[in-house]
């Protein structure tokens, strides 16, 4: 039986077709405009150079092919905007390489202005067009006629915070159902789930965990659910299956190779340059704020202006971690007594922490107590974006694979900081850190920095 895509998928495909059409028209217009602009102030004459004309005609075609090859028009970009921008940038870079190489090999003289105008200007216009389009798509998909209803399969019908955040972003309502246990007949359970999906008019079935299910059972469930015109989604809890992967086709099957994190030595240099380009002017601009904060701390309570802790940094090495003092003197000795070990109620204990001063609460509310860490970024013990450094005594709580978070330098901000901070569990925090290490890019850093300002203003999780 031929499988039909869900109604929501059909809506997305129609919207994506509009994006393909708009970007294709943009590329053609840019090429024509670039060719014409180069003749400003010069007698306009049609060039008889056949090779040049053919390459100029091929320019938008090359770019369109690169957009297609790098998946810049995949349906997934409507849900994962960051990936859409990343693929667009890769396509533009490959277009530049292909166009320049062809011009060099065949000795075709193409004006540098044409290349720069088309590629640089085209990439910027592409980003603006795509950003505008995705904003419109988000509003379109949030309308009542495309309101999503998800059935989530989880262990013991328990709610999953990551799933809830995903659903909230998609403006979807969720209903939870229990996964089968060892005593449940799997075939009967699949029939019940299928009936529930059909009766409840759901448009997405989300498998929150694969715990207890064999690959054959997952495949069976997927095919049955897809027959009901419902989208089937599996939650990759740590982002490992989708990060840095490469598919190899062999003996009729696809083999998925999961590579190592991409923060290699070459990219560390790029990341370091990115940090310095932002942190040096930031320290200069914020110097008056430093003085005001120091004055407020002195007036509010006795003690040092700067409070330092030993934290675990890159590759497990410890470093001195500075903050503006926001607690009363001697609060370190009361930490375990007041906060205890990290658990689900940790956030509530932070809200009523008696060790925090009045001015300290203001600093914490807007994350101003962390400004001294800009110095750590400057000297290289931290980065602007990365996993938040943990205390040495917290290292014992790391899971078997959470040590991977130490591959990257710790950061002032990161996925955890813009996703609720202290309102999240320890396990969620570790998952965010691993996800960052696996999927790092300069584009991701820039987006997280931009989102940090919104997180600071909202104050979510800042106690």
Note the pLDDT tens digit of each residue in 103-123.
777 777 666 666 677 778 788
Give the model confidence (pLDDT) of 360-395 as tens digits: 888 988 889 999 999 999 999 999 999 999 988 888
> Which tokens sit at 89?
């940038």
Is residue 157's pLDDT more than 60? Answer: yes
Helix axes 426-439, 161-169, angle to 10 degrees: 60
What confidence score (pLDDT) does residue 457 get?
Answer: 81
Is residue 159's pLDDT more than 50? Answer: yes
Same domain flag for 81 and 187: no
Is residue 87's pLDDT more than 60? Answer: yes
Average pLDDT over residues 185-205: 87
* Count of structural domains, the chain: 3
Out of 235, 255, 282, a domain closes at 235
Report the alpha-carbon distance of residue 152 to residue 207 in Å, rounded.
Answer: 6
Contacts 24+ apart (CB under 8 A), 386-389: 386/410, 386/411, 386/414, 386/436, 387/411, 387/414, 387/416, 387/432, 387/433, 387/436, 387/437, 388/414, 388/416, 388/417, 388/429, 388/433, 389/311, 389/312, 389/313, 389/319, 389/321
Out of 93, 125, 141, a domain closes at 141
What confidence score (pLDDT) does residue 49 get?
Answer: 64
Same domain flag for 394 and 418: yes
Residue with tokens 């799933």: 163
* Best-predicted range by mean pLDDT (146-150, 226-230, 377-381, 449-453): 377-381
Is residue 81's pLDDT more than 60? Answer: yes
Same domain flag for 228 and 323: no
Report the alpha-carbon distance of residue 62 to residue 66 in Å, rounded.
Answer: 6
Tally Cβ neighbours within 10 Å of residue 239: 17
What confidence score (pLDDT) does residue 263 get?
Answer: 64
Residues 133, 139, 144, 149: is their CA dihedral positive or negative?
Answer: positive
Q: Which domain holds residue 11?
A: 7-40+47-141
Same domain flag for 362 and 392: yes
List residues bridging with 232 in a β-sheet. 205
Out of 141, 167, 183, a domain closes at 141
Average pLDDT over residues 122-143: 83
Residue with tokens 């998909």: 141
Residue 240 within a domain: no
Same domain flag for 122 and 195: no
Give Cβ neighbours of residue 171 (< 8 Å, ≥ 6 apart): 141, 142, 147, 148
Residue 252 within a domain: no
Residue 313 within a domain: yes
Whether the CB-CB separation of 308 and 322 falls below 8 Å is answered with: yes
Whether the CB-CB separation of 117 and 10 falls below 8 Å is answered with: no
Between residues 279 and 77, the one the model is more confident about: 279
Average pLDDT over residues 187-215: 86
What confidence score (pLDDT) does residue 443 get?
Answer: 79
Phi/psi of residue 419, nearest 5 degrees = -120, 25
Whether the CB-CB separation of 110 and 31 falls below 8 Å is answered with: no
Question: Is 320 in a helix, a strand, or coil?
Answer: strand
Residue 249 within a domain: no
Q: Which has the closest alpha carbon to 190: 215, 214, 223, 158?
A: 223
Rounded to 5°, angle at Cα 409 from 404 and 412:
120
Between residues 279 and 241, the one the model is more confident about: 279
Same domain flag for 313 and 398: yes
Same domain flag for 285 and 405: yes
Residue 393 within a domain: yes
Buried (b) or exposed (e) across 422-444, using 16+ Cβ within 10 A? bbbebebbbbbbbbbbbbbbeeb
Q: Tell me whether strands 306-312 and 253-258 are parallel, antiparallel or unpaired.
A: unpaired
Between residues 332 and 215, the one the model is more confident about: 215
What confidence score (pLDDT) does residue 429 get?
Answer: 85
* Best-predicted range by mean pLDDT (82-91, 371-380, 438-447): 371-380
> Which tokens sit at 216?
């054959």
Same domain flag for 152 and 137: no
Between residues 337 and 32, the one the model is more confident about: 32
Report the alpha-carbon distance of residue 38 to residue 70 in Å, rounded.
Answer: 30
Q: How confident is the model at residue 427 (pLDDT cuts 50, 70, 90)?
A: confident
Percent of the chain with pLDDT over 90: 16
Residue with tokens 């104050």: 459
Same domain flag for 424 and 318: yes
Q: Which has the closest alpha carbon to 77: 19, 148, 161?
A: 19
Residue with tokens 């943009």: 26
Is residue 146's pLDDT more than 70? Answer: no
Give the model confidence (pLDDT) of 15-57 as tens digits: 888 888 888 888 888 777 766 665 544 443 444 467 767 777 7
The reply to whether the predicted model has a pTM over 0.85 is no
Same domain flag for 136 and 168: no
Residue 228 within a domain: yes
Q: Tell me whether strands 149-154 and 204-207 are parallel, antiparallel or unpaired.
A: parallel
The single-letter DSSP state of residue 390 is: B
* DSSP states along 161-188: HHHHHHHHHTT-EEEEEEPP-TTS-HHH
Report the alpha-carbon distance of residue 357 to residue 318 in Å, rounded.
Answer: 28
Same domain flag for 136 and 155: no
Residue 135 within a domain: yes
Residue 299 within a domain: yes
What confidence score (pLDDT) does residue 24 get?
Answer: 85
Same domain flag for 197 and 304: no
Is residue 286's pLDDT more than 70? Answer: yes
Domain at 206, CATH number = 3.40.50.2300
The CB-side HSE value for 375 (13 A sphere, CA atoms) comes to 14
Mean of pLDDT over the chain: 79
Buried (b) or exposed (e) across 58-89, using 16+ Cβ within 10 A? ebbebbbebbeebbbbeeebbbebebbbbbbb
């Amino acid at each position: 039986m031929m499988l039909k895509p869900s109604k929501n998928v059909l809506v997305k495909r129609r919207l994506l077709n509009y994006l393909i059409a708009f970007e294709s028209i943009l590329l053609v217009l840019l090429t024509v405009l670039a060719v014409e602009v180069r003749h400003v102030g010069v007698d306009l004459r049609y060039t008889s150079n056949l090779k040049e004309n053919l390459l100029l005609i091929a320019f938008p075609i090359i770019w369109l092919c690169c957009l297609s090859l790098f998946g810049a028009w995949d349906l997934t970009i409507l849900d994962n905007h960051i990936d859409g921008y990343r693929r667009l940038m890769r396509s533009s870079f490959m277009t530049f390489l292909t166009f320049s190489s062809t011009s060099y090999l065949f000795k075709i003289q193409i004006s540098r202005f044409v290349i720069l105008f088309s590629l640089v200007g085209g990439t910027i216009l592409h980003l603006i067009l795509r950003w505008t389009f995705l904003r419109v798509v988000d509003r379109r998909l949030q309308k009542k006629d495309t309101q999503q209803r998800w059935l989530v399969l989880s262990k013991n019908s328990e709610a999953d915070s990551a799933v809830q955040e995903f659903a909230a972003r998609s403006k979807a309502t969720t209903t939870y159902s229990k996964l089968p246990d060892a005593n449940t007949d799997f075939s009967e359970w699949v029939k019940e789930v299928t009936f529930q999906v059909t009766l409840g008019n759901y448009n997405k079935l989300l498998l929150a965990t694969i715990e207890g299910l064999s690959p054959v059972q997952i495949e069976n469930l997927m095919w049955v659910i897809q027959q009901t015109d419902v989208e089937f989604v599996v939650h990759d809890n740590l982002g490992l299956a989708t990060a840095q992967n490469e598919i190899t086709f062999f003996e009729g099957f696809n083999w998925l190779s999961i590579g190592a994190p991409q923060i290699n030595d070459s990219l560390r240099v790029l990341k370091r340059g990115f940090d310095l380009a932002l942190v040096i002017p930031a320290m200069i601009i914020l110097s008056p704020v430093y003085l005001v904060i120091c004055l407020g701390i002195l007036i509010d309570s006795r003690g040092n202006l700067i409070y330092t802790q030993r934290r675990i940094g890159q590759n497990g090495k410890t470093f001195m971690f500075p903050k503006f003092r926001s607690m009363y003197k001697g609060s370190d000795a009361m930490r375990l007594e007041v906060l205890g070990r990290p658990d689900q109620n940790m956030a509530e204990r932070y809200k009523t922490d008696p060790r925090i001063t009045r001015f300290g609460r203001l600093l914490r509310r807007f994350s101003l107590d962390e400004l001294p860490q800009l110095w750590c970024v400057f000297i290289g013990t931290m980065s602007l974006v990365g996993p938040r450094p943990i205390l040495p005594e917290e290292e014992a709580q790391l899971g078997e694979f959470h040590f991977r978070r130490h591959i990257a330098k710790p950061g002032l901000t990161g996925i955890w900081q813009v996703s609720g901070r202290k309102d999240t569990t320890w396990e969620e925090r570790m998952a965010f850190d691993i996800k960052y290490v696996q999927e790092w890019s300069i584009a991701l850093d820039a987006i997280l920095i931009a989102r940090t300002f919104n997180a600071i203003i909202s104050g979510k999780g800042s106690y």
